[in-house]
A and B are shown apart, each in its own frame.
Chain A
Amino acid sequence: MHSTGTSANHASPRPESGLWEWLNLRTGLDDLLHATLDEPIPGGARFAYIFGSGLLFIFLSQIITGVFLALYYVPSADHAHKTVAYITKAVTAGSFLRSLHFYGASAMVVVLFLHLSQTYIYGAYKGRRELLWFSGCVLFGLVMAMAFTGYLLPWDQRAYFATAVGTNAVGEIPWIGESIKRLMRGGTEMGTLTISRFFVAHVILIPAFIFALVASHLFLFRKAGAAGPTNENPYQPTRKAELFYPRQVIMDLSLTALLIVGLGLLSFMIPVPLGPAANPADAQYVPRPEWYYLPIFQWLKYWHGSAAIVGVLVIPMLLVLTVLALPFLDRSVERRPWKRPAAMAAYVFLVFSIVALGLRSEYLDRHDSGVAQQLAKQNADEDDYMRTPFKPDLSSASLAAANVTLADPLAAKGKTIFEARSCSACHGHGGVGTAAAPALTGVHKEFSSDQLAELFKHPTAKMNAGGMPPVDLPPDDMKALIAYIERLVP
């Protein structure tokens, strides 16, 4: 800081601009700031344009909360659920951050829908904006992929079964579906490899693609320029432009503030529950995806057997291709919605269908008493699980040691003899071996019970030399001791 002061004093007669001037001469921050803030918006700032920045904000929030959650999370079938329980029940502010991340995903889908709708209704994909639209579509897919992969990670009942259904749906795709499903799961069944794959996709692969695409999306947006109001020419704006800063910035920030307050309150008042650990053997569990996947879930119910190819492959592919090719299909410069009845009809039809499918799924669940009962029970199970305090995971080494004593009373008796005779002095606790004597774990593979008894009674010369005394025990005790030693695990 010392050098900062002197150089500023030398150079500038105005000390109040010292630090900024110093930084600016070296970094060009001023130009960068101007380039960012002085983006011209034909026709002026509007609330309709705020959703893009809203998405950027949520993305940022998801990155930050995600990185923090990774401080405690372990991606394996053994530990995923336990570590999320630890985050939710034990770690300070853990439940809040997890809820923020969880609701953030929903907010992302909502704001994405609004952003997409605004772009579509305003005809803002017109004029040299094909690539901009295209990158937006890919980002939409990536966000949905983030929601899908992140959902599994807590490995509770809800997560497990929703992902089982989701990956099964992928398996419905003709010819290649089964292979893709197996690839996603890392095997034929869901398991620890599935978590690893979903984890890598969720925290490394997809975020990397999102970063790249957000950068391209912003670049392409600035290159094409803001489209402005609907009566503006998409190629050559004619209206007086207003700069992004300050009014549009303030409008954008108002959405950000709304999101902060909304997500914060929601996370605080209704923390996201964690259910009991995934139990693949639970045949009763009724899986339901998160709300934004309900329409697809319901849609897939209608397509089975030979018709599946139409519903699972043909129609979705056609829809995706149509959406991607939209700027090529619709070449007119007309942007006013009321002059584009076909486009608006298609939009209303699509949104209506999606909402109807989602509502239909909800309706069916409520009116099937069996399902409704089971869903209510599942929710109650989650609440019960949330009420139990956090219990640490017993490490596998502890369990092995405990099982020996629990399983067999003879071995249990042998264990007390092993300790009372100070066998553990040289052979170590649990017979794991020490510097003084070899391990006893696994000796039963080399010697039969009779051979072991013989060796204990009459140690070999080598054993004698090592300090092994003859073991003189009543036959019953010897039997117990050998039963214990035969059960030792390393």
Chain B
Amino acid sequence: MFDRDLENTTLPKTRPSELSPESRRSFLGVLLGLGSVLVSALLSVPLIRFSLFPLLRQTTELKSSPVGELSEFSSLTEPVMRTIQIGQVDGWRKTVSEEIVYVTKDSQGQLRVLTSICPHLGCTVPWNKGKSQFVCPCHGTTFAADGTRISGPSLRGMDTLETSVEEGQLQVRFQYFRQLVSDKEVIG
């Protein structure tokens, strides 16, 4: 009650007439206020663009890595091992790491690139020439030359990587996949 009374006592004011200097002052004030808001909005455009840069452009990027000339793989009889360099762009820095992949052929005879990381627990799987199989040294999962699982604890075959061809060069996009699951699932 007390508050209400207090509010009421402060509110009634004599209204200035339409052309009084008071009202001209407030009209000017509104004009200046609007102008300032407009100019501030204009000035904030570069600031917004600057801070929204990660939305406008790619700031983190996994570059595809060259594996070799296509001609090198034209007469493949068994998987060949290649060390590829993976360039990961992270803002203003770039990390280059190395991974091992195998270039092999699928059942249709098309080139296929497999990661050497075992989908079971992540050991590097070597190609066993004698057995004509990939044999994981850690837990003994075996895979066929095209990467399909033959036997052992792994829940899926070796993971194939996305490939592309640029100017006769075989390119691969290296990715990591979740281990211990039956379906291929990209991580990171």
Contact = CB atoms under 8 A, between A and B. Distances in A.
Contact of B124 (A96, A100, A249, A422): A422
Given A392-B89, A420-B81, A402 B126 contact: no
Interface in A420-442: 420-422, 424-426, 429-430, 434, 436
Nearest to A22: B7
Contacts of B49: 92-93
B4 interface: yes
A419 B52 CA distance: 43
Contacts of B17: none
A64 interface: yes
Given A91-B53, A419-B83, A82 B126 contact: no
B98 interface: yes
Interface residues of B, number: 43
Contacts, number: 125
Given A72-B92, A401-B97, A419-B83, A93 B50 contact: yes
Contacts of B11: 11-12, 14, 21
A352 to B, nearest CB: 37
A488 B91 CA distance: 28
Given A246-B25, A425-B124, A425-B138, A398 B91 contact: no
A25 B94 contact: no
Given A11-B11, A253-B32, A426 B50 contact: no
A79 B92 contact: yes
Interface in B89-103: 89-100
A420 B81 CA distance: 8
Nearest to B92: A86
Interface stretch (B39-47, B70-78, B148-156, B162-170): B39-47
A68 B47 contact: yes
A424 B43 contact: no
A29 interface: no
Contacts of A395: 93-96
5 contacts: A93-B50, A260-B43, A419-B81, A425-B136, A429-B97
Interface of B: 4, 7-8, 10-11, 25, 28-29, 32, 39, 43, 45-47, 49-53, 56-57, 81, 83, 89-100, 122-126, 136-138
Given A246-B28, A422-B124, 6 more contacts: A71-B50, A92-B49, A97-B50, A397-B95, A401-B97, A425-B136
